[in-house]
Amino acid sequence: MKMYKTKEEVINTIINEKNILIVQDLDGVCIPLVQDPLKRELNKEYVKDVSRLREKFAVLTCGEHEGRRGVNRLVEKALNSKTTAKENGFYLPGLAACGVEFQDRFSNLSHPGLKDNEINFLAEVPKMMRSMLTNELKKFLPNLSDELRNKLIDVAVCDTRFTPTLNFNEIFNYVKNDFQKVKDLQLIMEKIMNNLLEDSKNYGLDNSFYLHLMPNLGIRDGKEIMKYSNHNEFGTTDIQFIIKGAIKEAGLLFLLNKYIANKTGVYPFGENYNVRNAPKTHNELIELCIDKIPRNQMPLLIGVGDTVTSVKDNKDNSWLRGGSDRGFLTLIQSLGESYKKENQVVFVNSCNDQVLRPRINGTDMTGISDPNDDLKFNMIINDGPKEYIEWFKQLASYF
């Protein structure tokens, strides 16, 4: 039977080290998952607890900091003020848009590795998505009223600046008892996003973007594998149109680079390191760390995420493993082994009545992990963001 650490044991491991860095995903970890991303909420006390940790905390998210859908708006709403966060450094520092939008806790922003022509194309993508989705839904759900169709499209098209996204949670919910229809809608979602990739080539951006599926079943032939719906869960609900190279594990090294430079005055990977010029494989990222970061400068790393998948492929009896948090959590675990540090990997059960996801029940990790999985969790937060925030409060009280 798998034995996890208690919450107190993990806190003791963290506070016994002076040099620590908590790297945390957002949605599903400290923000409950909802069908409409504009209805997300952030806990006020959690925001203040994060600020106690100062440079010891960073987010690593495929969401975004700025814009009307950005987490900065959730911070301001939680504090009921447009100015308090800026004045007191209450914004959540770290790397967003899967690695191309960095901010400090005062919301000073930079866009490492992004080019102007990429930013300009991304600004057009939500309009293109909306047009394509309108055409597809008219054909696929012809009996919808214009009013309801537009309402579903408003929720589905997430007009984020660097990671425009199709989020089909609300549309899936409309046909939720017909899993074949959900699967057909997943194929429509994929078709629209592939068309956008083709369109980008007409702008000379052949190698600028890729599609990030949430959740997914890993990568095959350079593309993420869709997780199709079944009777227990929807599977892939979101597809992000994202900058190539913007993966969380490369982002982890960007955060390490900043963290160590703040402490020592020297950027171990160079001042211009970003996710676009980062090594592309897990082993190369580890080698770069070993080569450039001495053991006395490497912090104890604590990784927190909720999107990890593992499904048996019955064709060849192998496991399809994916999820947007898997890469950086696995890298944190591997760096702990390489540096002989007690790095901690924390999994948050994010499944709820609004967004169906696999969840860990005791030793049952179906859909998330498997007996041959290299990734091992040190702690499971069973009851989602609410329980995680309580644990985080307890941890923050030591700082």
**Cα 92 to Cα 104: distance, rounded to the nearest angstrom:** 7
> Is residue 53 classed as helix, strand or coil in its secondary structure?
helix
> What element of type H or E holds 122?
helix 116-140
What pLDDT is recorded for position 306? 97
pLDDT of residue 79 exceeding 70: yes
Residue 182 vs residue 3, higher pLDDT: 182
What pLDDT is recorded for position 52? 97
Task: For residue range 127-183, list pLDDT tens digits in order.
Answer: 999 999 999 999 999 999 999 999 999 999 999 999 999 999 999 989 887 889 999
**Cα 322 to Cα 224: distance, rounded to the nearest angstrom:** 8
pLDDT of residue 1 exceeding 60: no
DSSP 300-311: EEEEEE---EEE
Residue 50 vs residue 356, higher pLDDT: 50
Q: Are strands 165-167 and 238-243 parallel, antiparallel or unpaired?
A: antiparallel
CATH 3.40.50.1000 fits 7-114+246-396, yes or no: yes
Single-letter amino acid, residue 396: A
What pLDDT is recorded for position 111? 93
Domains of the chain, by residue range, sit at: 7-114+246-396, 116-161+164-243
Three-state SS string across 278-301, please? CCCCHHHHHHHHHHHCCCCCCCEE
The 8 Å CB, 24+ separation contacts for 291-297 are 292/268, 293/256, 293/260, 293/268, 295/339, 295/340, 297/19, 297/260, 297/263, 297/264, 297/268
Contacts of 70 (CB under 8 A, 6+ apart): 63, 64, 96, 160
What pLDDT is recorded for position 354? 86
pTM for this model (two decimals): 0.90
Q: What integer is the mean pLDDT of 288-299?
A: 98
Task: For residue range 320-353, list pLDDT tens digits in order.
Answer: 999 999 999 999 999 999 999 999 999 999 998 8
Contact 153, 137 (CB under 8 A): yes
> Is residue 25 classed as helix, strand or coil in its secondary structure?
coil
Q: What integer is the mean pLDDT of 61-74?
A: 95
Contacts of 43 (CB under 8 A, 6+ apart): 30, 78, 385, 389
